[in-house]
Structure 1
Amino acid sequence: MTLERPPTRTPTQHIVRIARAAWRAEVGVWLSLYRFVFRRPKVPPGASGFAYHSPILTILVVFIVLSAIEIPIIDLIVHPWPWIRIPLLIAGIWGVTWMLGLLLGFLTRPHAVGPDGIRVRSGAEVDIDLPWAAVASVERSHDVVEKAPKVRVEESHGRTLGLRIQNETNVLVLLEAPVHVQLGSDHHEIDAVRLWTDDLDGFLAAVRTHIP
């Protein structure tokens, strides 16, 4: 088996694809801020949410703090030149807000296990619904792959979506039949999903309440 190759795109299609991805990311950041402020995590009714941000929490917090410290320092340096100062101030505030929204995307969109199935998330970027009828099994499976594509096809159980945190996953969801998913502007057919959850035992216990 070989890795899936995306279809060839024209330069215009590449630009449109990047613009759409940037727009989705921007909207996701502001929706995450909204959900956090108004305490509306995206968890279906009757479902339990499971976080997956612990391995990257320290890194994101450090970046946010350093970026926030940079704003007054740079503002002090360029204070005599308003034509430079104001754009840099706006860019700095936007950058901190964006990174904060990125972090809150993980916090407000956890994986979810409930009566209707499993919702697999990766911040505001990925939200996949796996109803119980589509799930064959859920098992503990620690896997580490560096620089892996989102969808790998060389695994023994077929095309596998890997939602990795720091290159790792610890849950493998095998599907009864191929499922179509959308990742950004690309469509894929997958046979399994690998994901990371901070509470592996709790996640598997929640799954066992719905499938033996």
Structure 2
Amino acid sequence: MTAARKLILRPIRAETRRVAAMTAWVRRARPPGDAFGYHRDLHLILWTAGMLTVVEGALTHLILVLIFGHPPWVWIVLGLHIYGVYLLFGLLAGMMTRPHTVDGPIVHLRNASGTHVSFAVADVDSVVLGERPEFGHSRWRTSDDGRTATIASGPAILRVDLVENAGVILDGSPIPLAPKHIHVSADAPREFAARLTTALSRQPDVGRCGPVPAEHQ
């Protein structure tokens, strides 16, 4: 895929995912399986910012109409406010409708922007708790050698280690070189690790999750 095509498709894909998340939010639709959320601390902030933007936009539009009437630029300002509200609630909807899940034999890792990573429980070698390096954003990223990946924003607090030659699916397409380590954000990392351990123990003749350190609650 050319760079120009990527630049065109990226915003289209982002808007499509945002609309899908908001639709799922309104319909109260959630992916199947045991869900584990992330960024719970941001939910109230986004709610507050969204409501303040609604009020600010309404008051600003009213004042501008009273002073300047109805020139096109006044409606452009209103449109920008509406789009700002849409972005804030789209992000919140993504966080609430795209949790990580363990659905039978498959693990699904997601983020608010729509990235979806999945692999078999049987491909999990170990799960390690503990704070990881700070990452600037939550999209899927891999190290230069492709062996370490992250789907975390801020300090990742869970690391999933995979067996060699694991089958990892990224947004519907297999990854040619699957990462060995995946850093993840989760609101309840201990519960997520325990669920992976339980799921793995039910798999016949496969690896096992490593011990969960007691220092991280």
Partner of 2:204: none
Quickly say closer, same or farther: Cα 1:210–1:35, change in 2 above 3 A. same
Deviation at 1:88, TM superposition (A): 2.1
In structure 2, the partner of 1:164 is 152
Deviations 1:169-189 (A, max 9, x none): 11111111244554799x673
| Percent identity for Structure 1 against Structure 2 | 23
How many equivalent residue pairs?
A: 193
Residue equivalent to 2:141: 150
Q: Which amino acid aligns with 2:143?
A: R
Distance change (3 Å), C-alpha of 1:59 and 1:19: farther
SS in 2 for 1:130: strand
Match of 1:175 in 2: 162
| Alpha carbons of structure 1 residues 99 and 143: separation in structure 2 relative to 1, 3 Å | same
- Partner SS, residue 180 of structure 2: strand
Q: Secondary structure at the match of 1:197?
A: coil
Distance 1:143 1:188, change over 3 A: farther
TM-score where L is the length of structure 1:
0.79
Instruction: Structure 2: give runs of 5+ residues left out of the alignment.
Output: 202-217
Cα pair 1:151 1:162 within 8 Å, conserved: yes
Q: Which shifted more, 119-128 or 71-80?
A: 71-80
SS at match of 1:78: helix
* Partner Cα distance (2:187, 2:5) in 1: 36
Among candidates 75, 78, 84, match of residue 64 of structure 2: 78
Which residue of structure 2 aligns with residue 66 of structure 1? 52
1:210 aligns with 2:199: yes
Q: 1:28 aligns with which of 6, 14, 17?
A: 17
Which shifted more, 201-210 or 140-149?
140-149
How far 1:153 sits from its partner (Å)? 4.4
Q: TM-score, normalised by structure 2?
A: 0.77
Distance 1:84 1:78 in 2: 10
Question: Alignment partner for residue 120 of structure 2, among 127, 131, 140?
Answer: 131
Match of 1:57 in 2: 43
Classify 1:184/1:60 alpha carbon distance in 2 versus 1 (closer, same or farther; 3 Å): farther
